[in-house]
Chain A
Amino acid sequence: MDAGVDLKPFQIAYQTYGTLNAAKSNAILLCHALTGDQHVANVHPITGKPGWWEVMVGPGKPIDTDRYFVIASNVVGGCMGTTGPASTNPATGRAWSIDLPLVTIRDMVRAQAMLIDHLGIETLFAVIGGSMGGMQVLQWAASYPERVFTAMPIATAAKHSSQNIAFHEVGRQSVMADPEWRGGRYLDAGVSPTKGLAVARMAAHITYLSEEALQRKFGRKLQGRDAPTFSFDADFQIENYLRYQGNSFVDRFDANSYLYVTRACDYFDLAEDYGGSLAAAFKGSKTRFCVVSFDSDWLYPTSASRAIVHALNAAAASVSFVEIDTDRGHDAFLLNVPEFIATTRGFLEAAARARGIPMPSGKGG
Chain B
Amino acid sequence: MAETGARTAVMLSQTARIDLLVVADMVAPKTRVLDVGCGDGTLLRLLAEERGVDARGIELSQSGVNDCVAKGLSVIQGDADADLADYPDDAFDYVILSQTLQATRRPRQVLEHMLRIGHHAIVSFPNFGHWRIRAQIAVQGRMPVTKSLSASWYETPNIHFCTIRDFIGLVDEIGAKTERSIALDRQGRPLSFSAPWWVLNLIGDQAVFELSRKK
Residues of A within 8 A of B (CB): 288, 290, 306, 309-310, 313-314, 316, 318-325, 339, 342-343, 345-347, 349-351, 353-354
Interface of B is mostly: mixed
Q: Is residue B69 within 8 Å, beta carbon to beta carbon, of the partner chain? A: yes
Of B75, B76, B87, B91, most buried by chain A (CB within 10 Å of CB) is B76
Q: Could you say which residues of chain A place their CB within 8 Å of the CB of B56?
A: 318-319
How many A-B pairs with Cβ below 8 Å? 68
- Pick the residue among A313, A323, A351, A353 that contacts B62 (CB under 8 A): A323
Interface size on B, residues (CB 8 A): 19
19 chain-A/chain-B pairs, Cβ below 8 angstroms:
A310-B86, A313-B76, A316-B91, A320-B65, A321-B65, A321-B75, A322-B62, A322-B65, A322-B77, A323-B62, A325-B62, A342-B70, A346-B66, A346-B70, A350-B69, A350-B70, A350-B71, A350-B73, A351-B72
B76 and A320 contacting across the interface, CB-CB below 8 Å: yes
Q: Could you say which residues of chain B place their CB within 8 Å of the CB of A321?
A: 65, 75-78
6 nearest A-B pairs in the assembled complex, by CB-CB distance:
A346-B70, A350-B72, A321-B76, A310-B86, A318-B74, A320-B69
Q: Is residue B29 within 8 Å, beta carbon to beta carbon, of the partner chain? A: no
- Bound CA span A152–B65, Å: 16
Interface of A is mostly: helix
A347 and B62 contacting across the interface, CB-CB below 8 Å: no
B69 and A290 contacting across the interface, CB-CB below 8 Å: yes
Q: Could you say which residues of chain B place their CB within 8 Å of the CB of A290?
A: 69
Q: Is residue B68 within 8 Å, beta carbon to beta carbon, of the partner chain? A: yes
Q: Is residue B88 within 8 Å, beta carbon to beta carbon, of the partner chain? A: yes
Shortest B200–chain A CB gap in Å is: 36
Q: Could you say which residues of chain A place their CB within 8 Å of the CB of B72?
A: 346-347, 349-351, 353-354
Shortest B108–chain A CB gap in Å is: 22
Q: Could you say which residues of chain A place their CB within 8 Å of the CB of B69?
A: 290, 320, 322, 343, 346-347, 350
